[in-house]
A and B are shown apart, each in its own frame.
Chain A
Amino acid sequence: MLKAIAARDEAALAQLYDRYDRILFGLLMRILNNREEAEDVLQETFIQVWRKAADFDETRGRPFTWLVTLARSRAIDRLRTLASRERVAEARAREVSEEISDAATDALKSEQRGLVSDALAKLPDEQKRPIMLAYFDGLTQSEIATRLGAPLGTVKTRMRTGMSRLRELLAGQGESFGF
């Protein structure tokens, strides 16, 4: 599909959008916590896909990974630029513990989400929280250490260990994702 987009096939872009818009918009809403900003970033992401589809290298990863990386990177940039992190984080702080457990429950809505949420549910909270704060709140390791009141070295170790565990749990599931 990305090859067709690189060849300036408008229908292929529309097809790609229809396939991933809900997943990407859900991710952007989770990061930005603001519908208007999330829609702006979603639009920017697909315009970037239109312009840069030729840069996609299928030997380096799946289109899903590329799309999510583009969208999340833009969202984190916007979060940092707008300095709305504190605003978002305050809202998030009230719900972070529920969100993680909710993620495991709600994930049953789909097999793919279930695989990820099951994997997350298997991580100890001390490893899961730094990962979630980095991924969805855009915090750096130093900021996470401050937020959690933990030494920086401890946060680094927990994040690395958690990611390794997550990778093991998701190993071989790529095909199941269908991405």
Chain B
Amino acid sequence: MVHDDYKEMIPARALSALDVAEAQALNEHLENCAECCKELDEWQATAAALALGADPAEPSPKVRERILDDVRKDLSEPHVVPFRATPRNLWSSFGSLGAMAAAVLFTALIVGLIVLWRQNNAIRKDLEQSREFVQLVTSPGAIVTELKATDVAGRASATIAYDRSGHAILLASNLPNVPQGKAYQLWFLVDNASPMPGKTFAPDSNGHGVLKEQVPTEALDSPVFAITLEPAGGSSVPTSPIYLHSISINF
């Protein structure tokens, strides 16, 4: 396809109406075409205006309360702010080398305690996840499926376990690091239907990733699982090559 072919697809893309293969091809083109990106922004404004074609409706006041409750919880948690250099002269502030040494020792002690606390928390979290995974695997009717890596995922591997109710846990290892603003996303495939998007997750610095998910009811009988690299908020259709999959598939 050439540039003009992609350009013609953009109005349908703004309506999320492209079929999977076309959407994937256009998304790849958009990564390298500023003109089409600008065009898409304009078409999305046209599409957004269609929202006004629906009758406005009043949500329950509880929705507003729930949103603001979540926000307040978020605000009450520690928030990382960019470090700002202090204008004070530290040398004169401490007044003596002894005070400096004491401050350095104290800081080292605090840092050490934080490292230990975080390691302890990480170990505890790992144990909890392992325990939960084992419980799931050993529950009646549980199914365990291995996901294999494609060339883009190198030595990555993953296992997903799910029970009859669809409660699922994915454990992945050796995943390549994700670029800023990206995350891995799980997909469910059933027969010839469009891939159904699952949740996103980011691996830790060692390439380990854990995802708790709910397998859609319609995918419970014979699901095929796949993992792609998507924008951190997730995608409605896959936009990257497959990184891992449970059987040989193509989007």
Q: Which residues of A contact B (CB under 8 A)?
A: 8, 10, 13-14, 17-18, 21-27, 29-30, 38-39, 42-43, 46-48, 50, 52, 60-62, 64-65, 68-69, 72-73, 76-77, 80-83, 103, 106-107, 112-113, 115-117, 120, 130-132, 134-136, 138-142, 144, 156, 159-160, 163-164, 166-167, 170, 173-174, 177
Contact = CB atoms under 8 A, between A and B. Distances in A.
A43 B16 contact: no
Contacts, number: 171
A65 B45 contact: yes
8 contacts: A39-B59, A50-B67, A50-B70, A69-B44, A77-B197, A81-B197, A107-B52, A167-B43
Contacts of A21: 58-59, 63-64
Interface in B53-99: 53-60, 62-64, 66-68, 70-72, 74-75, 79
User: Binding site of A, secondary structure by majority: helix, strand, loop or mixed?
Assistant: helix
B162 to A, nearest CB: 15
B75 A164 contact: no
A141 B12 contact: yes
Contact of A13 (B12, B44, B45, B71): B71
A138 to B, nearest CB: 7
A163 B11 contact: yes
A68 B51 contact: yes
A80 B59 contact: no
B156 to A, nearest CB: 25
Contacts of B56: 22-23, 25-26
Q: Which 10 A-B pairs have the closest CB atoms?
A: A134-B17, A163-B11, A30-B54, A22-B56, A68-B48, A134-B15, A26-B56, A65-B48, A116-B52, A25-B59
A106 B55 contact: yes
B35 interface: no
A82 B216 contact: yes
Given A25-B59, A77-B236, A159-B12, A167 B54 contact: no
Contact of B15 (A22, A46, A131): A131
A13 B41 CA distance: 24
B102 interface: no
A133 to B, nearest CB: 8
Given A60-B41, A80-B196, A113 B52 contact: yes
A14 B55 CA distance: 22
A23 B19 CA distance: 28
A159 B17 contact: yes
Contacts of B205: none
Interface string B223-251: 00000000001101000000000000000
A177 B49 contact: yes
A73 B46 contact: no
Contacts of A18: 64
Given A39-B62, A48-B233, A163-B46, 11 more contacts: A21-B59, A21-B63, A43-B63, A50-B70, A61-B44, A69-B47, A77-B234, A116-B52, A134-B17, A136-B54, A167-B46
Contact of A73 (B12, B64, B236): B236
A166 to B, nearest CB: 6
Contacts of A174: 45
A39 B60 CA distance: 8
A167 B44 CA distance: 10
A117 B52 CA distance: 8
Contacts of A65: 41, 44-45, 48
B159 interface: no
B50 to A, nearest CB: 5
A163 B15 contact: yes
A100 B196 CA distance: 29
Contacts of B41: 60-61, 65
A18 to B, nearest CB: 8
Contacts of A131: 15, 50
Nearest to A120: B53
